[in-house]
Amino acid sequence: MRKARGFTLLELIIVLLISVMAFGAVAYRTFSGDQSARIQAAARDIASALRYARGQALMSEVPVGVAVNLAENSYRISDQDKIFRLPAEMSISLVVAEEELSPGGEGAIEFFQDGSSTGGHITLQWGGLTRRIDVNWVTGEVKISDAAS
């Protein structure tokens, strides 16, 4: 008589249980990193908009700014119509010169023909994560840092 070869039901259940636990661990790491990736991407997008505005001001010799609307969680470049929206879970704050603030909850960082700017910084927060975009008022240089310092 030939002996039947194969897996027992108990062995199959153990393998399935280990597989489910492994997939759960991978899914948890993927989704917990999603928040960090999204706030970093938003910070890079805003920094790119600021650098674009500086480049446009240098080329066109006309001031170009990036306006941040705190009430609508959005920003736009002054020489374009497109509005860029941030996720609702992400909060944005802005520190700029008083004359760059408008009563409607909008503030701007303006770049001039010589590359300088009005300066300031934009802070993004989401949960415990913070990204800060600094704009140097003398050079117009844009930097991203991980924490508000």
Which tokens hold the place of 31?
């989704």
Domains, the chain, in order of start with CATH, read 39-145 (3.55.40.10)
Model pLDDT for residues 26-55, shown as the tens digit of each residue: 766 655 567 888 899 999 999 999 999 999
- pTM, two decimals, is 0.75
Q: CA gyration radius for the chain?
A: 24
**Tens-place pLDDT, residues 107-143:** 999 999 999 999 999 999 998 899 999 999 999 999 9
What burial class does residue 65 get, using C-beta atoms within 10 Å of its C-beta: 0-12 exposed, 13-18 middle, 19+ buried?
Answer: buried
SS3 5: coil
Share of the chain above pLDDT 90, in %: 58
